[in-house]
Amino acid sequence: MRPDGDGRRRARANVQSVGEESAMSRAAGHHRGTAETLAIELDKVVVEYESWTYEGRRRKVERRRALDGVSIGFACGEIVGIDGPNGSGKSTLLRTICGIHVPVCGEVLVYGKKPDIFDSGFKRRIGYASSRRTALMLDLPLADSFALHCELYGVDKHEWWERVETLSSRLDLEALVSRPPREYSQGQRARAELGLVLLHKPDLVFLDEATEALDLEYLPRTLALFREMSAEGATIFVISHRRDDLECADRLVTVEAGKVVRDERI
């Protein structure tokens, strides 16, 4: 059954408020992107996980709500910081928007359509990096990871190396491109992960604690890059327990026990 419009109206009202504030900011000389267009909408979304316990030979199935009736909207060009305790549903929120998790009820719309992680066209619009897994080929030069990524995401062969050079300059990767990531420090690997996820110019960027390992000396230039992408219309989500990583955010969304308990401009 299609959910009713209460959550949808709240989401749209929220985004309209964001757009009005962004327009005011630009009028004051502070450009934070094009936040008037709705990119993502969640309407009373519930996501559940199953867990199993055994009592003797009997298996007991328990269901836990990772997202519990979430209704929220996000605009094109926003940078959204997401915080909350461990296990609160932050990562589940991002993975649901990506189409990795399918709600048991409620609706998720991304650019007006249900997200489908198996749709190659939709997947090309997404960039996802997580501190818990890597897309880098650890034993091959970083350039090989970049080349494979561009091939998988359909980046034009005449453009991809120019894009690699641009991101290498912005993220200080020039000295790393010919080396395998297994040799990198934690901070170097974090920069390489960001370079990879941004290589195909995604419209939606999801950073699940992917910035926390960045050396602080590189944080200002990284946040400046996020602001430039936002100004071009990209919507960026940053999950981090490190407050410095959220300095570029337009909004701060706090998730606790599967619910959005705070959503405010910062």
Contact 202, 226 (CB under 8 A): no
Domains of the chain and CATH, by start: 76-103+115-265 (3.40.50.300)
Contact 209, 129 (CB under 8 A): no
Least-confidence region, from 1-10, 93-102, 185-194, 243-252: 1-10
Confidence of residue 36 (pLDDT cuts 50, 70, 90): low
Confidence of residue 61 (pLDDT cuts 50, 70, 90): confident
Under DSSP, is residue 57 helix (H, G, I), strand (E, B) or coil?
coil
- What is the per-residue pLDDT for 18? 43
CA distance 207 to 141: 23
CA distance 180 to 165: 17
Confidence of residue 19 (pLDDT cuts 50, 70, 90): very low
- What is the per-residue pLDDT for 4? 52
- What is the per-residue pLDDT for 21? 43
Under DSSP, is residue 171 helix (H, G, I), strand (E, B) or coil?
coil
- What is the per-residue pLDDT for 124? 94
Q: Does the pLDDT at position 232 exceed 60?
A: yes
Is the whole model's pTM more than 0.85, yes or no? Answer: no
Report the percent of the chain where pLDDT is more than 90: 74
